[in-house]
A and B are shown apart, each in its own frame.
Chain A
């Protein structure tokens, strides 16, 4: 040993051996690369849902919760407190903004509840908790066979939110009314931004307002901005939440309907739920940013998805709304539109029925229904037809469609397969013995690609077709509970 150390190369050799041994140990113990799987969110039923039906007077109100909820639960339909005066001073001591006397209480999941609400009256709030909350869907549908508001006009009762987009005809081409309601216990500071065909509309009267708890308002957009022929409208709140809806009345013989809420601006927008009936189709695209853009339009039809001839693109100037008539492209066939653009855009579509007296319906950019979707109001009578238009624009998909009757047992769900890039339209026939009204639950199968869709309701009358549509909205059945971690490192970006 001593000799080894004293030898010039002995120590070097020893060290080299030791270093090599360490290298070997380090090399051998190096762990295999592990792909860190991000923790998965857990699906959990929604525990409470509230929605506001903007103008239920004279309409049929439908409320439904898909079956499956456990335990007790109820959905209370009640008028918005303080609504009579419209001054927001109502409400009880707790300031929860709800009327003390409910119109009705629904407590049976899986069964459709419908009621004709007498004309006039105030917005109704639907508050569901427990088993009635998971997937609660409500809608109001008006049916007028004559007069200036002739037609079918239906709208989902919307959850109050901080932001809502609408894209459709402007106040110059129709009588556009914005319904705002604050169902919360805190005041909402609402501001409205409008993007017309010529650019953003700057209102002289100011576009902001405060809605006290329980207050609701109906605003004629003509008063704010009389000139836009088309518009994209954003209702947003600085504080608080608001439920917003827009009714568009074209006038006698030209139709009436509500604008559905469009998705927030994104670079890829899918406008689903375009029925295969004949009539005009008019696409509105709003680019709220500060950059002009060219939007690529692609139609997803029964036999595939492709760009429409001469209508491949649409130029949208910055901060404005552009129109593209697609009647010759997709008229008469069920479709969905896929819009892609460099800058975020949002879109809506007008569907016009046929006949001497026209009726209109609107669909809009919608999210995919990954967690399922529920449509509250479906009708199938002698002349009324309900259609479900489903599209799988990106990947093959499969969904289960189940109808929920007003009474009796629900029929077994039907599985619908959608090849990639196709649209399918299916007529909804109610189960026998369940009456004419029913609800629809659409649930994508596991592993299915994104599915978009819409429900179209039409009625053939002697003077023309009456129609209303709504894109399928993400049901509030499930919420994704994200994995959480209590860590002080949250303060760092």
Chain B
């Protein structure tokens, strides 16, 4: 015969209390005794308890009383009842189902050893979502419900389960067991007190079971910060963490405890670091403070351990069986990676109390239906498929570039060296390259060094992926970046494919323009980030600043283009939203800050702003690019398809102008297009003096801007195609025509690229410019002079042991040294005798090489010089050695301290900007607005609102 006493503890929970009380009173198995405990509610909770249970059954305690203490207090005043006495603990925010108690008692009857029983807890708001069916804990103190995030209750877990612990919300406990274990530990006023109690019960040989036939709805008001906690001033998160650590450490046997301490100290530090990186200093502080607070009070821990000494070791195997298995952390990581690949974003599973309600999203239904394997999930995404298709096209088109020796040609020097060499080039104050240089290496060297480091130190791998893979990468980036701008999937696929196969892209590959390739990949990201900056996002502003700095380092022209468009946007939108001006200033100011000395140097020689990273060659751009090429977005130079290839794109964008709705986006797109083309026209008419040659400017990047605008203009209203198709008749035919014309552009571009092949000046198997003998024979500062007869002139450069690194071509040598050296080289190449060779030797030239095909005159000249000794001559070229002694130039002693200082400052700035730009974990909106009842959708809702605004921006 059971006698059940329900104890409802209320604390500022009037919002839920009414329902809870009703539920208690309506139980199908009526309660024998009802006790209400009011911990100093200020919202009338006490009055409601009195009304429901009668004022005699309500105990009023002060506000700082914890849950455990309140129950102790109630039970102390409660005389023992006859029969098997049970205590049913209820929170004010946990409403049991009417049959809950009956089900629990029935389960208790089945198993006499069951001392603690808990119901199935469902979410208060979304009543289908499972919260807990018993909870376990990892050795790191991590709470584990064994449920998927936002898992729906479909009866899949039903049954009676042995669990480590059940929540105190709805916990049915035998009173004799309560007394035997001395109940909830009053030292744990909130959180994990249930775990501690159940652990002790388990150790004492009792069973803890979760009964799913009993159902209760729980609001988790304290954990989700829906109400203020009065028992402690600490944040619930810190409290939870501290209690978790405390419970673990108090209940583990000694050796397991030692292991746990070591593990938790390391784990906490790592988590703290991660929190810091995720820009959640509060979390980080809580993490450290929780650990510190446990470790700072060893006496308290000792006292707790002493109290739990009995049977702890003997009972541990029974508990250990129920703890989270050790591999769970890895599995969680794998889950996150997998879901990230499938594009769902990292979802942290049930580690926190409020994981369930927070992540509810609009496509819940799809989520349930799409129960497919990883393979299907990853490969059924249009973005992945598009990327694979573009990669296939690229692989076929670049068939001659994929495998072989050195990759080089056009703007790309043969790629040699590794990440370490690039770092050295970037950080050293004096470069031994060429004639020796004291200029600071351009910042893109650092970017490439970083990318090389990511490719395991292989620069060739990084450059190959970026340059050869720029088409699929650009497609992917365009596809992902336009997610919020264009909502119609097929239009995004079309946009991404067309963007990736623009003449600019194929031209950049053929010309070896790795700078443009990188900017091409970054450009859609700029657009996406810029729209968020316009919406006032600070994080996007830092991200834009960082990426803009990267793009500017490779192609300086990117910066003025973005700055002008950003300025126009600021003028249009600054009044609309607060903080837009500041965000824009961050976005546009960061590159200047990060690249400052280099930009200052550029400003002194403004022509270089129009050039890009790499070698400058006259043949890489068309000095008299036709008007039709410019308007058709074709930048000229090697590797571009015929002018008409992009006609479809322009036609579709013109057609988009005819639509009545969404005119603003189309107009903005066309505005960007016209602006880009105008800039392209201006720059393509300029020739810039780079070194001793004047180079026509390649208008690739402005045309890429123009194309982006045009593509957005064409793709944005594309969702109306479905409407028109449904309309039938003439409209349907017109729609089909437009679609056909639109897809003709990427298809034609891909076909022509595949047929023509991608190798222009860019080639695989570029011979190593330094012959083996010279590489082995030089040491220290000795150089090898490389002469090549090209278009009626002798082009030369000085190499040191190996081919020049990417970026060395941008270093400048002192003017007088270059003049002296140039005169000596001219004299040597003329074969007029004299002491030119000796002059070169005194400047550190040990070898003279002339790669094949060798010019006869040059060969004769070099052969006729008595100061040179020929070492070899073949089809591949000739090599001569200085007969006389060589004096290698001595590098200046001492370090360039401003340079060192700047490098450190730049490093710190980059790290800072990275942290500010990195996607931190999203702080739940409830934290700011805990008083609000309907806050669960707040962050998502706001973000979505931003997205909408972006979609159809309407300036005031």
Interface residues of A (CB under 8 A from B): 5-6, 8-9, 11-12, 15-16, 18-19, 22-27, 29-34, 38-41, 44-50, 129, 133, 159-163, 183-186, 237-241, 264, 479-493
Further contacts, 11 of them, CB under 8 A, given A18-B674, A479-B831, A486-B821? A11-B666, A12-B657, A22-B630, A25-B678, A39-B792, A47-B832, A479-B832, A482-B829, A488-B797, A491-B769, A491-B797
Q: Do A5 and B663 touch across chains, with their CB atoms under 8 A apart?
A: yes
Residues of B within 8 A of A186 (CB): 869, 883
**A22-B829 contact in complex given A47-B834, A163-B863, A486-B818, C-beta closer than 8 Å:** no
Top 8 nearest A-B pairs by Cβ distance?
Answer: A48-B833, A47-B834, A479-B832, A38-B792, A26-B627, A488-B809, A491-B769, A481-B830
CB distance from B256 to the nearest CB of A (A): 64
Residue count of chain B within 8 Å CB distance of chain A: 84
Q: Do B654 and A46 touch across chains, with their CB atoms under 8 A apart?
A: no
Q: Do A487 and B674 touch across chains, with their CB atoms under 8 A apart?
A: no
**A488-B693 contact in complex given A47-B832, A239-B869, C-beta closer than 8 Å:** no
A159 to B861 CA separation, bound complex (whole angstroms): 12
Residues of A within 8 A of B793 (CB): 38-39, 482-485
Task: Give the residue name and chain of the A residue nearest to B869 (CB).
Answer: A186
Q: Is B194 an interface residue (CB 8 A)?
A: no
Residues of A within 8 A of B408 (CB): 491-492
Q: Do B833 and A8 touch across chains, with their CB atoms under 8 A apart?
A: no
14 A-B pairs (CB sep. < 8 Å): A18-B670, A22-B630, A30-B626, A47-B832, A47-B834, A133-B833, A163-B863, A479-B833, A485-B691, A485-B796, A486-B795, A487-B615, A487-B693, A487-B795
A24 to B736 CA separation, bound complex (whole angstroms): 33
Residues of B within 8 A of A163 (CB): 863
A81 to B427 CA separation, bound complex (whole angstroms): 53
Residues of B within 8 A of A41 (CB): 792, 830
Q: Do A486 and B788 touch across chains, with their CB atoms under 8 A apart?
A: no
Q: Do B658 and A159 touch across chains, with their CB atoms under 8 A apart?
A: no
Q: Do A23 and B883 touch across chains, with their CB atoms under 8 A apart?
A: no
Task: Give the residue name and chain of the A residue nearest to B631 (CB).
Answer: A23
A393 to B657 CA separation, bound complex (whole angstroms): 70
A40 to B786 CA separation, bound complex (whole angstroms): 21
Interface string of B527-547 (1 = CB under 8 A from A): 000000000000000000000
**A490-B787 contact in complex given A6-B663, A49-B833, A479-B832, C-beta closer than 8 Å:** yes
Residues of A within 8 A of B766 (CB): 491-493
Residues of A within 8 A of B871 (CB): 239
A18 to B672 CA separation, bound complex (whole angstroms): 12
**A241-B677 contact in complex given A45-B832, A485-B796, A490-B795, C-beta closer than 8 Å:** no
Q: Do B834 and A48 touch across chains, with their CB atoms under 8 A apart?
A: yes
Residues of B within 8 A of A30 (CB): 624-627, 685
Task: Give the residue name and chain of the B residue nearest to A22 (CB).
Answer: B677
CB distance from B630 to the nearest CB of A (A): 5
Task: Give the residue name and chain of the A residue nearest to B810 (CB).
Answer: A488
Q: Is B949 an interface residue (CB 8 A)?
A: no
**A22-B681 contact in complex given A185-B883, A186-B869, A482-B794, C-beta closer than 8 Å:** yes
Residues of B within 8 A of A45 (CB): 832
CB distance from A367 to the nearest CB of B (A): 11
CB distance from A157 to the nearest CB of B (A): 15
Q: Is B864 an interface residue (CB 8 A)?
A: yes
A186 to B667 CA separation, bound complex (whole angstroms): 75
A88 to B791 CA separation, bound complex (whole angstroms): 43
A44 to B858 CA separation, bound complex (whole angstroms): 16
Q: Do A15 and B796 touch across chains, with their CB atoms under 8 A apart?
A: no
Residues of B within 8 A of A34 (CB): 623
The residue in B796, B825, B830, B883 that gathers the most chain A C-beta atoms within 10 A of its C-beta is B830
The residue in B677, B795, B825, B858 that gathers the most chain A C-beta atoms within 10 A of its C-beta is B795
Q: Do A160 and B821 touch across chains, with their CB atoms under 8 A apart?
A: no
Q: Do A491 and B804 touch across chains, with their CB atoms under 8 A apart?
A: yes
Q: Do A492 and B414 touch across chains, with their CB atoms under 8 A apart?
A: yes
Q: Is B367 an interface residue (CB 8 A)?
A: no
Q: Is B253 an interface residue (CB 8 A)?
A: no
Q: Is B146 an interface residue (CB 8 A)?
A: no
Task: Give the residue name and chain of the A residue nearest to B853 (CB).
Answer: A493
Interface residues of B (CB under 8 A from A): 408-410, 413-414, 434, 615-617, 623-628, 630-631, 654, 657-658, 660, 663, 666-667, 670, 674, 677-678, 681, 685, 691-693, 761, 766-767, 769, 786-797, 799, 803-804, 808-809, 818, 821-822, 825-827, 829-835, 851, 856-861, 863-864, 866, 869-873, 883-884
**A50-B866 contact in complex given A26-B681, A484-B795, A490-B787, C-beta closer than 8 Å:** yes
Q: Do B833 and A27 touch across chains, with their CB atoms under 8 A apart?
A: no
Q: Do A19 and B674 touch across chains, with their CB atoms under 8 A apart?
A: yes
A490 to B783 CA separation, bound complex (whole angstroms): 15
Q: Do B851 and A493 touch across chains, with their CB atoms under 8 A apart?
A: yes
Q: Do B658 and A493 touch across chains, with their CB atoms under 8 A apart?
A: no
Task: Give the residue name and chain of the A residue nearest to B620 (CB).
Answer: A489
A235 to B871 CA separation, bound complex (whole angstroms): 16
Residues of B within 8 A of A16 (CB): 654
Task: Give the residue name and chain of the B residue nearest to A34 (CB).
Answer: B623
Q: Do B786 and A482 touch across chains, with their CB atoms under 8 A apart?
A: no
A196 to B105 CA separation, bound complex (whole angstroms): 118
Query: In the complex, which of the residues B624, B692, B787 contacts A31, with contact meaning CB atoms closer than 8 Å?
Result: B624
A16 to B631 CA separation, bound complex (whole angstroms): 12
**A488-B883 contact in complex given A11-B666, A481-B827, C-beta closer than 8 Å:** no
A18 to B434 CA separation, bound complex (whole angstroms): 49
CB distance from B860 to the nearest CB of A (A): 8
Q: Do B833 and A46 touch across chains, with their CB atoms under 8 A apart?
A: yes
Residues of A within 8 A of B410 (CB): 492
Residues of A within 8 A of B804 (CB): 488, 491
Q: Do A492 and B409 touch across chains, with their CB atoms under 8 A apart?
A: yes
Q: Do B870 and A26 touch across chains, with their CB atoms under 8 A apart?
A: no
Query: In the complex, which of the residues B434, B663, B822 contacts A484, with contact meaning CB atoms closer than 8 Å?
Result: B822
CB distance from A473 to the nearest CB of B (A): 13
Residues of B within 8 A of A482 (CB): 789, 792-794, 826, 829-830, 857-858
**A484-B413 contact in complex given A48-B833, A492-B615, C-beta closer than 8 Å:** no
Query: In the complex, which of the residues B678, B787, B866 contacts A22, with contact meaning CB atoms closer than 8 Å?
Result: B678
A479 to B862 CA separation, bound complex (whole angstroms): 13
CB distance from A78 to the nearest CB of B (A): 15
Residues of B within 8 A of A49 (CB): 833
CB distance from A105 to the nearest CB of B (A): 18
Residues of A within 8 A of B834 (CB): 47-48
Residues of A within 8 A of B884 (CB): 185
Task: Give the residue name and chain of the B residue nearest to A237 (CB).
Answer: B870
Residues of A within 8 A of B832 (CB): 44-48, 479, 481
CB distance from A388 to the nearest CB of B (A): 26
The residue in A237, A239, A491 that gathers the most chain B C-beta atoms within 10 A of its C-beta is A491
Q: Do B414 and A490 touch across chains, with their CB atoms under 8 A apart?
A: no
Q: Do B826 and A481 touch across chains, with their CB atoms under 8 A apart?
A: yes
A50 to B833 CA separation, bound complex (whole angstroms): 9
CB distance from B11 to the nearest CB of A (A): 60
Q: Do A487 and B663 touch across chains, with their CB atoms under 8 A apart?
A: no
A491 to B786 CA separation, bound complex (whole angstroms): 7
Q: Do A23 and B627 touch across chains, with their CB atoms under 8 A apart?
A: yes
Residues of B within 8 A of A11 (CB): 657, 663, 666-667, 670
CB distance from A2 to the nearest CB of B (A): 11
A183 to B864 CA separation, bound complex (whole angstroms): 12
CB distance from A250 to the nearest CB of B (A): 33
Residues of A within 8 A of B864 (CB): 159, 161, 241
Task: Give the residue name and chain of the B residue nearest to A478 (CB).
Answer: B832
Residues of B within 8 A of A241 (CB): 863-864, 866, 870
**A493-B767 contact in complex given A239-B869, A482-B794, C-beta closer than 8 Å:** yes
**A8-B658 contact in complex given A15-B670, A485-B692, A488-B615, C-beta closer than 8 Å:** yes
Residues of B within 8 A of A31 (CB): 623-624, 685
Task: Give the residue name and chain of the B residue nearest to A24 (CB).
Answer: B627
A396 to B851 CA separation, bound complex (whole angstroms): 37
Task: Give the residue name and chain of the B residue nearest to A46 (CB).
Answer: B832
A49 to B864 CA separation, bound complex (whole angstroms): 9
Task: Give the residue name and chain of the B residue nearest to A184 (CB).
Answer: B866
